[in-house]
Amino acid sequence: MSREGGATLVELLVALALLTSIAVLSAQLVISSTRLMDTAARSAHSPDLVLATEWVRRDLYEATAVVGGALGWTDAPLVARSQHGGWVAYAPVDGALVRTEAPPGVPPTDTRVVLRGLVGWRWRSEGGGLVRLEVTALVNPEAHRDLTGSLRPGAERRTGLLVFALRGRPGGRSW
């Protein structure tokens, strides 16, 4: 009894499973690389805006709730309660985005400007712990001011449209 050359059905299925796994991993790598390139390109054009939104992203990821705001868009300060009982606030102040942090039970201990050249700020809280944020800033704030300190017409602006999910829960992380 002679056996003809060729692959069995089991061998074909194993090869197909391996190829599928390789294809899925390759697709994930391409997606990650594309996101990284997009972030790098945004950083090169407006690094200050990217850094400021990363501050907000980090604080909101660890927040348990957002306080204030209204139904719909608002330009009021964004106040987030932390897991440990303190709070962090972001507010537009004289053309800058200012971050203020307070540990539980004490006055604010850290106030800093995280973005200069702020020309637009609005946010809204949505159901399910989502927060939408829109920040517009000058690309190079000092280069767009004249000798009197006024903004020159045609100044280049960048807008960051972001959606954050609150991940923090009292007593620890939910994810």
Q: Confirm if 97 and 130 have CB atoms less than 8 A apart.
A: no
3 within domain boundaries: no
| Average pLDDT along the chain | 79
Selected residue with higher pLDDT from 149 and 100: 100
Residue 143 has pLDDT above 70, yes or no: no
Looking at the fold, whether 83 and 121 belong to one and the same domain comes out as yes
Looking at the fold, whether 81 and 145 belong to one and the same domain comes out as yes
Q: Annotate the chain with three-state secondary structure.
A: CCCCCCCCHHHHHHHHHHHHHHHHHHHHHHHHHHHHHHHHHHHHHCHHHHHHHHHHHHHHHCEEEEECCECECECCCEEEEECCCCEEEEEEECCEEEEEEECCCCCCCEEEEEEECEEEEEEEEEHHHEEEEEEEEECCHHHHECCCCCECCCCCEEEEEEEEECCEECCEECC
Q: Confirm if 61 and 166 have CB atoms less than 8 A apart.
A: yes
- pLDDT per residue as tens digits for the range 71-87: 788 888 989 888 888 89
Looking at the fold, whether 78 and 28 belong to one and the same domain comes out as no
1 within domain boundaries: no
pLDDT value of position 130: 83
Q: What is the pTM of this model?
A: 0.63
pLDDT value of position 14: 93
Domain count, the chain: 2
Q: Which domain holds residue 147?
A: 47-173
Looking at the fold, whether 108 and 141 belong to one and the same domain comes out as yes
Range in 19-23, 56-60, 90-94 the model is least confident about: 56-60
pLDDT category at 148 given cuts 50, 70, 90 is low
The span from the CA of 91 to the CA of 87, in Å, is: 13
- pLDDT per residue as tens digits for the range 153-165: 666 777 878 888 7
Read off the tokens for 133: 């944020």
The span from the CA of 23 to the CA of 14, in Å, is: 14
Residue 173 has pLDDT above 50, yes or no: no
pLDDT category at 142 given cuts 50, 70, 90 is low
